[in-house]
Structure 1
């Protein structure tokens, strides 16, 4: 560790260096994508360790001097912990991403084999390109750009079981010293669209509820009893219909909803991304961002019912459904869940009382804005892309973000990455644009420099 801050590189120097690294980074990404590192039951664990070892080799080649593994009981692959010391007095930046991927069961929908990376139209296609191996590669690229001597101390946290739930989601508060940092870059997100640099500043929370009722001792022939015997399935359907108004807006009191003022998808973009059939209306009112980020969403994710094929003419004696609630980033998920339970318990569809059981909850996240790391990130993104950076939110949750926030509440949390809203993560033909990957490398390098400058001479 030196006590001298390095002379900052100019924007053109950073871009030139990143462009020179791209052939190597592209090859490294392709090598990583070839490994089917799926961390879920029913898949072999060997590819996870293969991906882990390859990343370690890449980090060594990038000049990373301190590489350790964090073994957590129940994990199938270790968490890579690596540190690159910066100058004395420089800030510490923790960078997080993951190297596991979801399966590619829909192989027939791919234009090329999911684990044989294919380069076409300025992109690399393959499972895990965008989620989130390109983000891992962008970190390695930023470190390589400084020949292993960045202007900040960098801590890397790269895990191998993010996609299907992990003990690591809850681990950081148990050992906060491992994750101590002045700022954190969570690179498991991307920009709203190609060419539009975006900082994600909020994530919705989530709450689960199971609602059920039993009305008869057993199913009864609907020709003999239908019309008077209380049908549990009809009552449940009536109750579930009360969760939304005629416009499709959530109709449950006590759920926070606010207008969204940052960047967002246009309606046409959203229709394309969601693959909505032509001529069909969207649910709800207000802006797209308000509906999918800064307001609640309720989805019936499961319901017990016999299939249409082979249906029996009977009055249902029991019915059950699971309801998922997405929660405003600043509303405690338990409070939102309680509001949903109150709504359901107050209902009496056809005079029948429902049984409502609380399921899992996970709080959302709202980043503090306006700090030195936040300002440095906005500046770095804007310079790299040549466009003013926007702010967006995420409709899904990243549990580890909340765990890191609990472990190190004083650290600024920044969410940005190498992918974009059209990357089709978890779907067929997942891809990352190489131009976006290069710009992400540049942005991380510029962020290191700009953030270091705010600390120079202060410690």
Structure 2
């Protein structure tokens, strides 16, 4: 039922729904062309990469929103992060609701991860390349397809149904892949522009290429750089090796204490979240992860519980002498990047404190430890009982022809907790254009074009149904 008591599907007749489906289908070539143009802009938001590319990506995104002709204002803005440095440019837009309709906030991000080594890709990372039914490029799925899904869905609804009464706000972030450091400042500065009754975050996964998911749980994260030091300077490994502990030895022994023999996290104070999860065969995990023959999964419990509801610790980078430049030397210091995924129900600060205590307590040979570049993000659980969730699930069902799965995700989208804190009455819907074979953040990231089509249709159906609702929440 709608807020005024009318049936939720009152907007729909066979003719109007067919018009919407036809508009989405007819708009696919344009959507793919716009996505390809956006992907060619290497908008890596990390330090050390060209910030001009991120500005160009923001400007192109703003142009796409402006060309829709539905917004009262479209702007590009930057705000300072906690350290006072200006963040990357975000794109914001809004059209006011009319005739008592609700407002929906559509989120995506236009920045991307670094591509890594070009040689690891089957085709150039910033040149979209079609192979079969998948388009390959960095950011093609995470999350420039999310940007295009919003643009194409709005365009389809306007073309099929005419003028909208629905209020629409858009927030396309420019540094999600770099920790969303200025997100809070942008949110505070533009609180009135972004205020909404429903928030759609198009930055998640689907159960498969044929079955949609609505994400209802996300792990949080704590990332930091750890420096392990044992010597004031490098020394000859032959002259002193065997008596003097080098930093590499200390770091290896220390990092090994973070996990039990079966790969489970062994840090006291990190908690799990008790929740039921679907059972999946191990072979599915092996296929999606690319596990080599003979390599076994790690951890304990149901596979999806390990990914959705248990903590995980990964060493994502090491600064140490390369094999090419290795000399017979005892290393004085080694730097490592550590990523901790935090189960729903635990505060990120408490999780980081537990890991820091563990590392300090287990430092071998009296090694000195230094922590910096600490970045915390909260986990999130979606309240799946609201009317907007029902509308989203119905839209997925109609667009995909399959029953949607309410799923957890092992990854993190920390800003969702910030959105929920600023707009506590808004209902949060976490959707996405990815699938288990997308390989987001990895070489050969790709987008299944059938998933893109169904994601656009899902959002178009949802927007049309929200537009038919009488009275804002």
Query: Does 1:124 find its partner at 2:135?
Result: yes
Query: Does 1:435 find its partner at 2:446?
Result: no
Size of the aligned set, in residue pairs, is: 455
Query: Does 1:170 find its partner at 2:170?
Result: no
Equivalent residue number for residue 335 of structure 1: 350
Tell me, yes or no, if the aligned pair for 1:344 and 1:354 is still in contact at 8 Å. Answer: no
Tell me how far apart the structure 1 counterparts of residues 378 and 51 of structure 2 sit (CA, whole Å).
Answer: 31
Query: Does 1:361 find its partner at 2:365?
Result: no
Query: Does 1:84 find its partner at 2:90?
Result: no
Equivalent residue number for residue 17 of structure 1: 23
Displacement of 1:186: 0.9
Equivalent residue number for residue 196 of structure 2: 181
The one of 69, 73, 76 aligned to 1:67: 73
Measured against aligned partners, the alpha-carbon deviations of 1:345-402 in whole angstroms (never above 9, x if no partner) come to 333746x476464733222222222111122212211221111111223333224323
Structure 1 residues 382-397: aligned runs within 5 Å = 382-397=397-412
Higher mean C-alpha displacement, 33-42 vs 397-406: 33-42
Tell me, yes or no, if the aligned pair for 1:205 and 1:396 is still in contact at 8 Å. Answer: yes
Tell me how far apart the structure 1 counterparts of residues 40 and 203 of structure 2 sit (CA, whole Å).
Answer: 20
Displacement of 1:87: 3.7
Query: Does 1:273 find its partner at 2:288?
Result: yes
Equivalent residue number for residue 291 of structure 1: 306
Tell me, yes or no, if the aligned pair for 1:259 and 1:287 is still in contact at 8 Å. Answer: no
Tell me, yes or no, if the aligned pair for 1:168 and 1:400 is still in contact at 8 Å. Answer: no
Query: Does 1:241 find its partner at 2:256?
Result: yes
Higher mean C-alpha displacement, 217-226 vs 165-174: 217-226
Tell me, yes or no, if the aligned pair for 2:226 and 2:336 is still in contact at 8 Å. Answer: yes
Structure 2 stretches of 5 or more lacking a match? 80-84
1:318–1:373: structure 2 CA closer, same or farther, 3 Å change rule? same
Across the aligned residues of Structure 1 and Structure 2, the Cα RMSD in angstroms comes to: 3.4
Tell me how far apart the structure 1 counterparts of residues 23 and 296 of structure 2 sit (CA, whole Å).
Answer: 48
1:354–1:267: structure 2 CA closer, same or farther, 3 Å change rule? farther
Tell me how far apart the structure 2 counterparts of residues 39 and 388 of structure 1 sit (CA, whole Å).
Answer: 36
Structure 1 stretches of 5 or more lacking a match? none
Tell me, yes or no, if the aligned pair for 1:151 and 1:448 is still in contact at 8 Å. Answer: no
Tell me how far apart the structure 2 counterparts of residues 158 and 229 of structure 1 sit (CA, whole Å).
Answer: 52
Displacement of 1:96: 0.8
Tell me, yes or no, if the aligned pair for 1:372 and 1:451 is still in contact at 8 Å. Answer: no
Query: Does 1:139 find its partner at 2:150?
Result: yes
**2:456 partner SS:** helix
Tell me how far apart the structure 2 counterparts of residues 143 and 211 of structure 1 sit (CA, whole Å).
Answer: 45
TM-score by length of 1: 0.85
Higher mean C-alpha displacement, 129-138 vs 56-65: 56-65
Tell me, yes or no, if the aligned pair for 1:209 and 1:337 is still in contact at 8 Å. Answer: no
1:95–1:238: structure 2 CA closer, same or farther, 3 Å change rule? same
The one of 150, 155, 163 aligned to 2:169: 155
Tell me how far apart the structure 2 counterparts of residues 372 and 24 of structure 1 sit (CA, whole Å).
Answer: 32
